[in-house]
């Protein structure tokens, strides 16, 4: 008869040495970007349509949880995308708690101080969809185990929000259900960008056709159906809430491996 303790130890060691499932999707650093950013390139299509095969009625409307794999309609203007994007949500550190209670104005200031800028809506969509124009960063159907997007929604005390102060910060901490950046190792796009679906909503710079200069993308920890499209453009640029964060982008070739501005000719 085999030793149960020895078997348990063997299983534990196997799991400990198992490869990171997201590691194969990370292309690694590029010479054109800092080490903590990834190069995102491709052709952005303004209108991408998929056929929903798993619609589910919500309180207000219908949400789609799966699409017909490989069936995609592409319409509208095309834009060539080439950008360096933070691998993780700000502060862009693996294992760190992503920022929340941040506005689009906060995102612009924080990124600018690091010689970066908020990503554009088109850049964000390209990084999430990849060359196959996937509806989710990881595939064609919602998988609640892949990303931090299936937490139970908690009703906020609306009276405690409206401005950043001690009371709203305390309420934000009560509602917090986010995860450290990169903890969901399979929640990664084909470009090596983590947590694009779920965790915290991310501010981006919008298309010129939208009302406000900033909008939110990617959903948060209580929206499993949110994918690569579906921009939340309902809020003015000073809006903050318990799940609003961001990540930064930069033009390729402008920053060195450590994130410092490159000298001309280097």
Q: Is residue 78 domain-resident?
A: yes
> Looking at the predicted structure, is the pLDDT value of residue 193 above 60?
yes
Question: Dihedrals φ, ψ of 45, to 5°?
Answer: -105, 130
Contact in structure between 195 and 89 (CB atoms under 8 Å):
yes
Token pair recorded at residue 109: 């200031």
Domain count, the chain: 1
Token pair recorded at residue 219: 């959903």
Q: Is residue 8 domain-resident?
A: no
Lowest mean per-residue pLDDT among 64-68, 78-82, 154-158: 154-158
In this predicted model, what pLDDT tens digit does every residue of 93-118 receive, in sequence order? 999 999 999 999 999 999 999 999 99
In this predicted model, what pLDDT tens digit does every residue of 221-255 receive, in sequence order? 999 999 999 999 999 999 999 999 999 999 999 99
Q: Is residue 35 domain-resident?
A: yes
Q: Is residue 105 domain-resident?
A: yes
Find the distance separating the first CA and the last CA of the chain, reported in whole Å: 66
> Looking at the predicted structure, is the pLDDT value of residue 190 above 60?
yes
Distance, CA of 194 to CA of 187 (rounded, Å): 6
Task: Quote the pTM value.
Answer: 0.89
Beta bridge mates, 44: 79
> Looking at the predicted structure, is the pLDDT value of residue 202 above 70?
yes
pLDDT attached to residue 11: 31
In this predicted model, what pLDDT tens digit does every residue of 8-47 receive, in sequence order? 334 333 433 334 445 577 999 999 999 999 999 999 999 9
> Looking at the predicted structure, is the pLDDT value of residue 142 above 70?
yes
Boundaries of domain holding 172: 21-250
> Looking at the predicted structure, is the pLDDT value of residue 87 above 70?
yes
Q: Is residue 12 domain-resident?
A: no
CA-only gyration radius of the chain, Å: 19
Question: CATH number, domain at 114?
Answer: 3.90.1580
Q: Is residue 174 domain-resident?
A: yes
Q: Is residue 255 domain-resident?
A: no
pLDDT attached to residue 3: 52
Q: Is residue 264 domain-resident?
A: no
Q: What is the mean pLDDT of the chain?
A: 90
Burial class (CB in 10 A: 0-12, 13-18, 19+), 36: middle
């Amino acid at each position: 008869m085999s030793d149960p303790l020895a078997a348990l130890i063997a299983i534990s060691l196997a799991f400990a040495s198992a490869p990171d499932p997201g590691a194969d999707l990370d292309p690694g650093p590029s010479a054109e970007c800092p080490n903590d950013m990834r190069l995102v390139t491709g052709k952005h299509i303004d209108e991408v349509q998929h056929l929903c095969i798993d619609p589910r009625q919500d309180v207000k409307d219908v949400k789609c949880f799966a699409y017909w794999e490989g069936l995609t309609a592409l319409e509208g203007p095309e834009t060539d995308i080439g950008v360096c994007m933070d691998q993780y949500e700000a502060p862009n550190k693996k294992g760190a708690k992503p920022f929340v209670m941040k506005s689009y104005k906060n995102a612009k200031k924080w990124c600018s101080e690091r010689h970066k800028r908020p990503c554009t809506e088109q850049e964000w969509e390209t990084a999430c969809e990849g060359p196959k124009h996937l509806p989710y960063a990881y595939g064609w159907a919602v998988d609640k185990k892949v990303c931090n997007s299936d937490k139970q929604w908690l009703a906020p005390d609306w009276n405690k929000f409206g401005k950043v102060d001690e009371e709203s910060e305390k309420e934000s901490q009560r509602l917090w259900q986010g995860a450290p950046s990169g903890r969901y190792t399979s929640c990664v796009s084909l470009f090596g960008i983590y947590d694009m679906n779920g965790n915290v909503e991310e501010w981006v710079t919008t298309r010129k056709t939208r009302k406000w200069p900033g909008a939110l993308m990617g959903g948060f920890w209580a929206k499993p159906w949110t994918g690569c499209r579906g921009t939340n453009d309902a809020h003015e640029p000073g809006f903050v809430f318990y799940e609003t964060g961001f990540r930064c982008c930069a033009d390729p070739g402008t920053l060195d491996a450590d994130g410092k501005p490159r000298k001309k000719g280097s």
